[in-house]
Amino acid sequence: MVREQEKTLGPSCPIIPRVPDNAPWLMVAYGLDIERWCAEDLIDGLMLSPFPLCRDDPRHYHAYHVNVAHRHNKICIGGIGSKKLIESRVQQNTSFFHLQPVYDWTDKQYQTSVDAPSLYQSERWCAWIWIT
């Protein structure tokens, strides 16, 4: 279907799905077969989501996702959510955030060779700063 749309619509637009950075077995359980997507050239890369989706294994598997993407010459973009920043133990809104949790998270991802970072929920920061 993707290939048919590319033929009809002309030059392709990169397809980079946002996927949870969960364990390989969880990815299969979710029906997200990134190995096959990359191997069959159905996508141009991966964008990781830091959202924990399973109590059985709340860890993150950045290296696994990076390795899958790079093995197939795809990019892997790290994901940084604003949840840790917004909930960084700042009791009163002073328009100041403790950035260390985000720096630490970004560093963990870069240690596994992600190609770039991506920031999620950044629109929430604006609302939180100016509305509350």
More confident residue, 37 or 86: 37
Note the pLDDT tens digit of each residue in 60-99: 899 999 999 999 999 999 988 766 555 655 555 555 566 7
CA angle 108, 19, 14 (to 5 degrees): 105
Is the model's pTM score more than 0.95? no
* Residue ranges per structural domain of the chain: 2-131
**The tokens of 25 are what?**
């077995």
Looking at residue 109, what DSSP letter applies? H
Give mean pLDDT, residues 46-69. 86
- Asked if 59 and 25 touch (Cβ cutoff 8 Å), the reply is no
- Using a 10 angstrom Cβ sphere, with 0-12 exposed, 13-18 middle and 19 or more buried, the burial of residue 47 is buried
- Whole-angstrom Cα distance, residue 101 to residue 107? 10
